Amino acid sequence: MTLVAHAVARAPRPAVETRGLRDRPLVWSEIDGIGVWSTDWDSAMTFETADLMEHHRVVERLCAAETCLPMRFGTVFASDEGARAALLPRTAELREALERVAGKSELAVTLLWKEHPAPARTPAEGFGPGTQFMKERGAAYRAQEAERARAAELAGSLIAELAAEQPLVWHETCTTPHVAVSLAVLTPSERALERKRELEALVSRFVDVAGVVSGPWPPYSFARVR
C-alpha cells in the first residue's frame, strides 16, 4: 500500500466523504490521538497536473469537516505503518498547530512592484571599465536596499492593519525581483470574506505596488511544525 497524504487531523476522525484522488479510497492512519488522511495509491501510477488541483479540493473538503493541517502535495508514505511512524514523534507539535488554526481560514496578500526599472548606466568619465562596473554595482545595491526598506514598510502597514497576533501572520519580502511582499494571515472563518474586502481596500491605496488578495483557503502557510 502506498499512501498520498492530504491532511492531518485530531482523532476521532471527522466524518467526510471517503474518496480521494481519482475517486480512490481515503485512508485514515492514527496514532496517539493524531491522524492523517491519505489516498490509497497504486505505486505504479504517476502524478498528473489534475491531481494537484484534486488534492486541493480534497483538502478543502477535509478542512470544511474538521480542523486540519494541509500537507504538501506529493507527500507519500510507503504504508499505513509508515504514516503512523512519521506522526508519532510530532504529535505534541501537531496538536499545538491544530489548536492554532482551529476555526480559522487563510487569506494571502501579494504586493507586486508596479515598476522595476534597471539601474541607470551613467558613464564615469575619465575612469576605466573596472571603475564603471563598481559604480553600477553600487547603484544597483542602493536601489535594492531602498526596495527592501520600502517592502518592510509595506509589510509593517499590512500587519498593523491586521492587528493579529504574530503566530497568526506569516510574511516574506522581496522574494523575487517583482514581489515586494508575500503575506498570509489566519482569520476567523466567519469573518474571512469581510476581512478580505478590508485588505483589498487597504492594498488599493498603495501607489507603488499592485496588491492581490486571495482566499479564503485552508491554512496552508500555517501547517508547518518545528
List of the chain residues with pLDDT < 50: 226
pLDDT confidence of residue 226 = 46
Last residue of some domain: 47, 76, 101? 101
- Please tell me whether the peptide bond between 12 and the residue prior to it is cis, using omega within 30 degrees of 0: yes
Residues 89 and 156 in one domain: no
| Model pLDDT, residue 175 | 87
Question: From CA 116, how far away is CA 219, in angstroms rounded?
Answer: 31
pLDDT for res 127? 58
Based on the domain organization, do 110 and 213 belong to the same domain?
yes
Residues 116, 217, single domain; the answer is yes
Q: What pLDDT sits at residue 16? A: 72
Q: Are residues 97 and 118 in the same domain?
A: no
Same domain, 11 and 66: yes
Point out the domain boundary residue: 101, 126, 155: 101
Do 67 and 128 share a structural domain? no
